[in-house]
Amino acid sequence: MAYNKSLPLVDLHRHLDGNIRASTIWQLAEKNHIELPANSLEELMPHVQIQKSEPDLLTFLAKLDWGVKVLATLDDVKRVAYENVEDAYNAGLHYTELRFSPYYMAMTHKLPVADVVAAVVDGINLGIKDFPVQVKLLGILSRTFGVEHCTEELNGILTHKDEITGIDLAGDELNFPGELFIDLFKTARDANMRITVHAGEAAGPESVWQAINLLGAERIGHGVNSYKDQALLDHMVKYNIGLESCLTSNYQTGTVKDLSLHPIKQFLANGNLVCLNTDDPAVENTEIKQEFNLAQQVLGFDHDQFTTLQENAVKMSFTSDTEKQALLQLTRHS
């Protein structure tokens, strides 16, 4: 196995609403009388799972839509949250940070955003009682839907701020730059939320600079295009700003055309805090161990590099120093 078994398996960039099982989509559609573009689960798969590399990020993101379209009730939301914990445990994870966009999950059936947050929290709490895996929640502001809906999302998240560890900005990076969300992220930081931001995926290094300087990002989701700006990489080293790399995702979104040239190599060589993650496991048909196998087979990573990636993931986690030390003592072979 590619990863270091003496260290915990951690997934920091994992979308709860990008990990809704195809079988659950099928069952919820049937329960809620929602028409799907397929007559069987097998026929549904191409609509909810990437079959190849997509031309761009927005085409990729469309594959997530059916998962949220079938969430007609708060119990449905609770179910998919619970199943996310089970999936994380079955993947062999010791610790994960699950991020979700409450407005995205709420919008089709006009569920109250704050209630969706509460349902996710309930599902997670039920899950961790049944499956011994550590989970923290991150709330996403979906930039795709504009500032007004992001404000609604943040308000809903802050209603349950004791249960939510951090805030993320995700979605259409090109058309909704970070500068639009400065006030919302100031509010989030004032509420003691940890900050991670999707940047440098569909846009260039300037988007990453915005995330850091304007939004207060402590970590960058993807950050692929950071490699184009050495000053940016060095700044991130100096201030311990982490990079959440997702190999399969970056290939499937078309962000990286040739996986063997993924800049994670450059990030590691430069001393950047970088770790491996899944992004949207169900949509991408991947899991954390598969990401480590890819790093070994395609990038030629060795045991020492895996050790660094796994140690970085613990360092980058939005946990206390005490929790990090406890996590490093954990190993669960599966």
Active-site residue numbers? 201
Q: Which residues pair with 195 in a beta bridge?
A: 167
And the tokens for 150?
């992001």
And the tokens for 185?
């992220």
Burial of residue 163, with CB atoms counted within 10 A of its CB: 0-12 exposed, 13-18 middle, 19 or more buried: middle
Closest CA to 246 of 290, 212, 209, 211: 290
CA 67 to chain centre: 15
Secondary structure letter of residue 161 according to DSSP: G
Q: How far apart are CA 297 and CA 317, in angstroms?
A: 26
Please, how many CA atoms are within 13 Å of residue 12, restricted to the half-sphere of its CB? 34
And the tokens for 96?
């994960």
Q: How far apart are CA 190 and CA 194, in angstroms?
A: 10
